[in-house]
Amino acid sequence: MKILSRLNPVWPLRLGLGLMYLYSGYDLFTYPHHWYGFVPQWFSRSVTSIVSIDTYLRLQGIGELAIGLLFLAWFAGRWGVRIAALLMTVEMALILLFVGVDPITFRDIGLLGAAAAMLVLSWQKEEREARNTHDAISFKEN
């Protein structure tokens, strides 16, 4: 169990969220018809005045693939994670606000919580490092 105490909680979150977004993004892009039932009628009518519902869902899939890649790309750094977590937080909040309660709302609430946690975690380390640097500078001045 020592390994769990040394594991940064950001990595299991990034891995899980990244894989989830790669899966949904791929499926949205490849099989948009699988997702018709999740698009509210009022939204579908609005979107189809601009592009077809298939095109919209494929664009959504591209966006979700990008979020997934940002979560999984270790080289993207803290800003990549922040961008992915922010986009995910906004997406999940909009889904909860505009889609309404359905049989999978519980999942969306959990994903919103995970996205918010990732966003908070991405800022905490930087703030802690800044405080430590400031404390070290203050200590040297005394």
* pLDDT of amino acid 139: 43
* pLDDT of amino acid 125: 65
- Which percentage of the chain shows pLDDT scores above 90? 58
CB 17 within 8 A of CB 73: no
pTM above 0.85, yes or no: no
Under DSSP, the state recorded for 74 is: G
Instruction: Write down the residue that tokens 């430590």 correspond to.
Output: 132
Determine the average pLDDT of the residues in 44-53. 91
Q: Report the candidate in 79, 63, 80 with the shortest Cα–Cα distance to residue 71.
A: 80
Q: Report the candidate in 76, 44, 78, 75 with the shortest Cα–Cα distance to residue 60.
A: 44
The domain limits of the chain are 2-141
Q: Would the pLDDT of 115 be above 80?
A: yes
| Tens digits of residue pLDDT in 1-40 | 787 777 788 889 999 999 999 999 999 999 999 999 888 8
* pLDDT of amino acid 132: 53
Question: How high is the mean pLDDT of the chain?
Answer: 87
